[in-house]
Chains A and B, each alone.
Chain A
Amino acid sequence: MTASVHPELDLTVSRIIRAPRATVWNAWADPASFERWWVPAPTVCRVREMDLRAGGSFRTEISEDGLAFGPHITGCFLAVDELERIVFTDALVAGWRPAEASFVTAVITVRDHPDGTEYTATAMHRNVADRDQHEELGFHDGWATVIRQLAELVE
């Protein structure tokens, strides 16, 4: 698959984790495990729905005090390749229904590595400038281009 890379909108975190690939996968795919690491303590994460298949619901909640929970991620999985890849977005909710608002599409991959597992998370963010007045302003270049230009200009 080819995808355009927007350095100002995308980020990738990659790590060699000293654990078998199945262990890393299960930490993601098992809701009880996922809740243990997804958010930093003392914030508590609760998985409401984790239907690991394309179009399956992905819904989590978080709480600061462990009592009152509020929405965190409300989205759906776009692709789930067992022991290889998970793609989710909040641009769509369960059954690919368009979401009210969107922010991110994330691609998680796990690969065998001599020292364990190569874990990679890539998050692609919405162009926050790409909103109502996009056309009106003639802002066709997009955020990425403009910011790159600006960075060159001001440095």
Chain B
Amino acid sequence: MAQYSTTLDGVFQAVSDPTRRAVLGRLGAGPASIGELAAPFDMALPSFMKHIGYLEKTGLIRTRKTGRVRICTLERGSFDLIEGWLRDQRTIWAGRTDRLEQFVTATPDRHRDKETPA
């Protein structure tokens, strides 16, 4: 849990803003230049670049410069991180249920409480 928290907090902060969510949504369709991404927004470029910077810093997107154009790409690993956290919890509970099942089906009821753990 702890190892996920810091990264997850950053991810959640990054996606808490409508502009950043819109950028992520656009990038879901494929890489795009800063110019393309900024076009729908009535926003000064430096302000827009702060949003891009935030998304890059939290690892949700990558940017690379090709010539005079900076191209942004969605970094899907960050989304896997969010899913991975719940998947880990599910694995823990499924494992518990496996062991409970094993315990109650493999151990005769009348002896169970008196057995010494191996």
Chain A residues within 8 Å of B, Cβ to Cβ: 8-9, 11, 13, 15, 17-20, 23-24, 26-28, 30, 32-33, 35-38, 40, 103, 119, 121, 123, 125, 128-129, 131, 133, 137-139, 143, 146-147, 149-151, 153-155
* Known A-B contacts A129-B9, A146-B16, A153-B24; A37 and B96 likewise in contact (beta carbons under 8 Å): yes
In the complex, the answer to whether A38 meets B96 with C-beta atoms within 8 Å is yes
Pick the 10 closest A-B CB pairs, nearest first: A129-B12, A37-B99, A139-B16, A153-B25, A154-B28, A19-B104, A37-B103, A137-B16, A13-B93, A11-B90
Chain B residues within an 8 Å CB radius of A143: 12
In the complex, the answer to whether B28 meets A153 with C-beta atoms within 8 Å is yes
A90–chain B nearest beta-carbon distance, Å: 11
Binds A, one of B31-39, B41-49, B64-72, B105-113: B105-113
Q: Which of A13, A26, A155 has the most CB of B within 10 A?
A: A13
In the complex, the answer to whether B17 meets A137 with C-beta atoms within 8 Å is yes
Complex CA–CA separation, A38 to B4 (angstroms): 23
* CB of B95 within 8 Å of the partner chain: yes
Count of chain B residues with a beta carbon within 8 Å of a chain A beta carbon: 39
Complex CA–CA separation, A27 to B89 (angstroms): 21
* Known A-B contacts A131-B9, A146-B15; A121 and B96 likewise in contact (beta carbons under 8 Å): yes
* Known A-B contacts A13-B97, A37-B100, A147-B82; A23 and B109 likewise in contact (beta carbons under 8 Å): yes
Complex CA–CA separation, A15 to B99 (angstroms): 12
Complex CA–CA separation, A138 to B105 (angstroms): 51
A147–chain B nearest beta-carbon distance, Å: 6
Complex CA–CA separation, A30 to B16 (angstroms): 45
